[in-house]
């Protein structure tokens, strides 16, 4: 520990003089601040980096934020740092579709964006998806269904239930786009209709619709191959449920290929009515 007794008389006098000088200087600064409070409150001058980061008014003129370079942004009054972030955002694949999109840039001042907004001009990009403010007119391929035809079928006219397409089905009284799609999908799952009465199997379809169709086929156009079809293919058919498909697959694995539907009559999964309606739809090839 430092002790004053170790100093010589001359060193003591010098130390005392230095202490008095420090006290005097401190008091002088304190009195000066008391007499000049405004000068004391004035902030120090900004350094070069802070001055460069401060926004300026700049020169306003129309510009496209998707094509302007960093020098243009600085001339518009943005800081070099914000200008660099905008260019980096574009280089990473970003694009400004509306003036408000500039707010995505970190550090973008709201007042600066409000000042620049009247001068922002964003050019459309060929092939780009328009924003929700600019809806694209629907093309014919975008319709979910075929439009209603101009007229319905005359009384007494019938369509081939297995050959009619969606547009022809819409000409049938009582058939709209919804039921036209249901008829086509059910026909695909069946493999083809063998009777107009099968239309009753489509929920809520009016029974009167049957009178507008005829069917000449006695067998399905695409028969279901019981011995080679996969579990999923069998299950997709409207006349087979999970337990029935499981019984068919188990029979094939244990007994071999099926020769007739009667071989399934011993299974509890099938009733006589189930087997009867399957007759036109199965093949044993």
Q: Which CATH architecture has domain 159-214?
A: Orthogonal Bundle (1.10)
Split at pLDDT 50, 70, 90, the class of 99 is confident
- For residue 227, pLDDT beyond 80: yes
Tell me how far CA of residue 182 lies from CA of 17, 178, 208, in angstroms: 108, 6, 16
pLDDT of 269 reads: 93
Average pLDDT across the chain, whole number: 81
Please tell me if the domain spanning 58-119 has the same topology as the one spanning 159-214: yes
pLDDT of 142 reads: 45
Name the CA radius of gyration of the chain, rounded.
Answer: 44
Average pLDDT of the residues in 183-200: 94
Structural domain boundaries in the chain: 58-119, 159-214, 224-283
Q: Are 241 and 278 in contact, with CB atoms under 8 Å apart?
A: no
Write out pLDDT tens, residues 253-268: 999 999 999 999 989 9
pLDDT of 200 reads: 94
Average pLDDT of the residues in 196-220: 91
pLDDT of 27 reads: 81
Q: Are 50 and 41 in contact, with CB atoms under 8 Å apart?
A: no
pLDDT of 213 reads: 94
Span of 12-16, 21-25, 48-52, 273-277 with lowest mean pLDDT: 48-52
Comparing CA positions, the residue from 257, 254, 255 lying closest to residue 228 is 257
- For residue 274, pLDDT beyond 50: yes
Split at pLDDT 50, 70, 90, the class of 56 is low
- For residue 132, pLDDT beyond 80: no
Average pLDDT of the residues in 116-130: 73
pLDDT of 214 reads: 93
Average pLDDT of the residues in 86-90: 86
Helix (H, G, I), strand (E, B) or coil at 160: strand
Average pLDDT of the residues in 75-94: 86
pLDDT of 42 reads: 53
What percent of the chain lies above the pLDDT cut of 70?
81
Q: Which CATH architecture has domain 58-119?
A: Orthogonal Bundle (1.10)
Split at pLDDT 50, 70, 90, the class of 171 is very high
Q: Are 202 and 182 in contact, with CB atoms under 8 Å apart?
A: yes
- For residue 153, pLDDT beyond 50: yes
Query: Where are the extended beta strands (E) located within the chain?
Result: 159-160, 213-214, 224-225, 282-283
């Amino acid at each position: 520990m430092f002790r004053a007794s170790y100093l010589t008389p001359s060193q003591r006098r010098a130390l005392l003089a230095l202490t008095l000088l420090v006290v005097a200087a401190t008091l002088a600064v304190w009195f000066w601040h008391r007499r000049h409070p405004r000068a004391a409150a004035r902030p120090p001058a900004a350094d070069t980096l802070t001055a460069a980061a401060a926004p300026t008014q700049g020169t306003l003129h129309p510009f496209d934020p998707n094509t302007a370079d960093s020098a243009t942004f600085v001339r518009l009054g943005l800081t070099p740092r914000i200008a660099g972030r905008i260019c980096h955002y574009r280089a990473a694949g970003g694009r400004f579709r509306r003036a408000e999109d500039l707010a995505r840039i970190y550090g973008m001042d709201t007042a600066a964006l409000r000042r620049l907004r009247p001068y922002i001009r964003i050019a459309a990009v060929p092939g780009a998806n328009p924003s929700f403010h600019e809806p694209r007119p629907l093309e014919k391929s975008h319709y979910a269904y075929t439009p209603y035809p101009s007229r319905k079928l005359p009384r007494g006219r019938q369509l081939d239930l297995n050959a009619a397409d969606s547009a022809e089905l819409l000409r049938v009284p009582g058939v709209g786009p919804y039921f036209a799609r249901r008829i086509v999908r059910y026909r695909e799952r069946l493999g083809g209709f063998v009777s107009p009465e099968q239309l009753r199997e489509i929920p809520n379809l009016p029974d009167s619709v049957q009178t507008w169709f005829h069917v000449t086929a006695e067998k399905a156009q695409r028969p279901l191959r019981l011995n080679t079809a996969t579990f999923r293919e069998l299950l997709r058919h409207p006349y087979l449920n999970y337990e029935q498909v499981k019984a068919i697959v188990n029979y094939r694995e244990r007994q071999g290929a099926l020769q007739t539907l009667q071989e399934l009559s011993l299974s509890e999964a099938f009733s006589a009515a189930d087997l009867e309606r399957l007759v036109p739809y199965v093949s044993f090839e």
